[in-house]
Amino acid sequence: MAPAQSTIKSLHVAVIGAGAAGLVAARELRDENHSVVVFERDSKVGGLWVYTPESEVDPLSLDPNRTVVHSSVYDSLRTNLPRECMGYRDFPFVPQHDDESRDPRRYPTHKEVLAYLEDFAREFKLVEMVRFNTEVVLVEPDGLKWRVQSKNSDGISGDEIFDAVVVCNGHYTEPRVAHVPGIDSWPGKQIHSHNYRVPDPFKDQVVVVIGNFASGTDISRDIMAVAKEVHIASRSNSSETYKQLPGSDNLWLHSMIKSGNEDGSIVFENGKVVQADTIVHCTGYKYYFPFLNTNGYITVEDNCVGPLYKHVFPPALAPGLSFVGVPWMTLLFFMFELQSKWVAAVLSGRIKLPSEDKMMEDVTADYAIRDTHGLPKRYTHRLGAGNVQYLNWIAEQVGAPPGEQWRFQELDGGYVRLATRPDTFRDKWDDDHLIVEAYEDFLRQKLITSLPSELLESGN
Ligand code: FAD
């Protein structure tokens, strides 16, 4: 039963970050009558999609005192999912054919994603809620409320009390670096993909790229155009793996690295040896909340943030503290929107959370399932096969329709194409019928005014 009108609360809420998650969180919170302040340390909205040619001075980003560059986007980056399934549900990511500066392709460049997020912020008047150039440096409980300390680019500090804090700080900024035996004596250079922008510095080099998922495949192809040789090492390959990749004469796939040596050689588990100039670590990122002080209640262990009920609410601190955007391998923007609706409605009291004990039981049960499947902790927030169930569960909580079939099918098919056809998946596909379904759906919901004459620049 819906709670009586008098029990609906309007709270003062801080949102940390104005990326794709923070923007939609701000909108949903405001639509639920909360007053919202979004803290954003950058000077514009868009988060990860705000490309900068600058990278961090420390190429592996190991120094905790370094000046952090937020974005991990490289110059050549195009999306790794089709745009129809990538957008927010009620603001589809469709081509803007009337604006020549925009990229109409199905897998557009990073600039197009940023333009889309800027459109979203403009359309829903979100910018006025954002305090730019303001970094949150501390979030901690203060009685039943939350203290938020911040620092802006003029050096002015803020110390404020909020009823609730929604953490949307992203998790693609703090690199995870592969351990390579002997690396300390290996004389070459190392860089993490977080600090990779363009291939030019790798001209004529022998480069080893560790990691063969989205960034690893992209960056190895980017670099091979200028490098002498590129060797991809991946722990998901068997120890015998050694093959030259089709369509190239200087790109090889290997098993993982066995060792780096003083003489500059890199030895792979398959026995091959190369004299390498640089190692590029495309080995992912860590969840990192340097501003959060919960007296040790929330921990990050092997990239598992916990405890979090349904990846959003820490049971003992809910609903005052919540996280939007923790899961991965999913429809991110769509998930941000659903999680945000849930947080906003829980804060207003329109939706009730289970008791702390029940939430903890749920978290523990999730961990047990993960352990039964033999998955490491770092896969706790990888939705993978549980994706549809998770998103539809939240949709049900907030009274939204379940996710569209075409959206889930585009995600699944998109990941298969990415893994199996890394060189061509952005320009060739075989699911035009899903594009048609998506656009018909947008039209039915009056989110677009007509079907595009040529649906998208076809990839057939
Ligand atoms: P972010 O976009 O990272 O935003 C977080 C914001 O918080 C930033 O603006 C940051 O400045 C701010 N912030 C952080 N700390 C503080 C602080 N202490 N105080 C104030 N502000 C703070 N997803 C897709 O759906 N499709 C893709 O094709 C795709 N490609 C990707 C390619 C790469 C190389 C990477 C790394 C990720 C990709 N992703 C992709 C995932 C991408 O991260 C999400 O799409 C999405 O942009 C994440 O949004 P977010 O708001 O959670 O985080």
pLDDT tens for each residue of 207-222: 999 998 889 999 999 9
Whether the CB-CB separation of 146 and 321 falls below 8 Å is answered with yes
Residue 247 has a pLDDT of: 81
Residue 408 has a pLDDT of: 97
pLDDT tens for each residue of 73-86: 999 999 999 999 99
Give yes or no for residue 39 CB within 6 A of ligand 1. yes
pLDDT tens for each residue of 43-54: 999 999 999 999
Pocket test for ligand 1, best of 44, 110, 157, 169 (most atoms within 8 A of CB): 169
CA 282-288-293 angle, 5° bins: 170
Ligand 1 centroid, distance to 82 Cα (angstroms): 18
In this structure, the residue with its CA closest to atom 7 of ligand 1 is 17
In this structure, the residue with its CA closest to atom 53 of ligand 1 is 170
Ligand 1 centroid, distance to 223 Cα (angstroms): 24
Residue 459 has a pLDDT of: 55
Ligand 1 centroid, distance to 173 Cα (angstroms): 8
Give yes or no for residue 22 CB within 6 A of ligand 1. yes
pLDDT tens sequence for the chain (460 residues): 445 455 889 999 999 999 999 999 999 999 999 999 999 999 999 999 999 999 999 999 999 899 999 999 999 999 999 999 999 999 999 999 899 999 999 999 999 999 999 999 999 999 999 999 999 999 999 999 999 999 999 989 999 999 999 999 999 999 999 999 999 999 999 999 999 999 999 999 999 999 988 899 999 999 999 999 999 999 888 889 999 998 889 999 999 999 999 999 999 999 999 999 999 999 999 999 999 999 999 999 999 999 999 999 999 999 999 999 999 999 999 999 999 999 999 999 999 999 999 999 999 999 999 999 999 999 999 998 899 999 999 999 999 999 999 999 999 999 999 999 999 999 999 999 999 999 999 999 999 998 887 665 555 4
Ligand 1 centroid, distance to 372 Cα (angstroms): 31
Residue 427: burial class (beta carbons within 10 Å; 0-12, 13-18, 19+): middle
Residue 456 has a pLDDT of: 54
Residue 211 has a pLDDT of: 94
Ligand 1 centroid, distance to 323 Cα (angstroms): 13
Residue 365 has a pLDDT of: 97
Ligand 1 centroid, distance to 72 Cα (angstroms): 9
In this structure, the residue with its CA closest to atom 44 of ligand 1 is 332
